[in-house]
Amino acid sequence: MSDLTPHLDEPGDEAARRMPARDERTGKSAAAARIANQSSWVDQQIRIAMERGDFDDLAGYGKPIEDLGGEHDPDWWIKKLVERENIAILPPALALRKEDAELDGRLDRINVESEVRREVEDFNASVRKAIYTPPTGPSGPPVITRQRDVDDEVVAWRERRTARIEAQRAAREQAAAAEPPKRSWWRRR
């Protein structure tokens, strides 16, 4: 080795190793050269994809872009989310009315009495919270939904459940009576 070749074992050579690699032609670092050529590389990739036909038959081809050119709305993303996911944002009073209308159906899907009691108690807690929470913003409709008596709801749930079980039993018996009797394989004529 000549004296001009740096020795990596010497203490001052650590800084030389940390220096970015330089392009001999331009004198710029290799990273700077890659960044400078990145846009042309991207353009080349797009051109190749277009030649392959990757952009043919895309959804929305030939149609104008929605909401382009309108004034800027900072909440555009939340409005699109609400529209896409069908999220209904209701005032508390209306949300309680909707929950009240759907409560019997929710209770009918439950098979255990303790869960029915818990569900009605949770509903009552929601009603109490809505009644005692002061409205924010412009005044919405008043809370007219009433709390439900837990014991009365359990009795009504039992009656609906019994009627449903009886209807299912009757339907099974009617279906069994409509079918011809099955003959055993050992009893042939």
pLDDT in tens, 35-61: 777 778 888 899 999 999 888 888 888
Exposure string of 54-81, with b = 16+ CB inside 10 Å and e = fewer, is eeeeeeeeeeeeeeeeeeeeeeeeeeee
Torsion of CA 80, 136, 145, 162, to 10 degrees: 50
Token readout for 74 is: 């900072």
Residue 141 C-alpha from the chain's centroid: 29
Instruction: Give the residue, 10 or 61, on which the prediction is more confident.
Output: 61
How many Å is the Cα radius of gyration of the chain? 37
Answer whether residue 74 shows pLDDT above 80: yes
pLDDT in tens, 20-39: 566 666 666 777 777 777 77
Contact (CB, 8 A) for 101 and 119: no
| Bridge partner list, 22 | 29
Sequence spans of domains, the chain? 21-60, 92-177
Most confident of 34-43, 49-58, 83-92, 156-165: 156-165
Residue-level pLDDT at 32: 75
* Residue whose C-alpha is closest to residue 127's, from 105, 143, 116, 142: 143
- Lowest average pLDDT, out of 1-5, 21-25, 84-88, 180-184, goes to 1-5
- State the CB neighbour count (10 A cutoff) for residue 177: 7
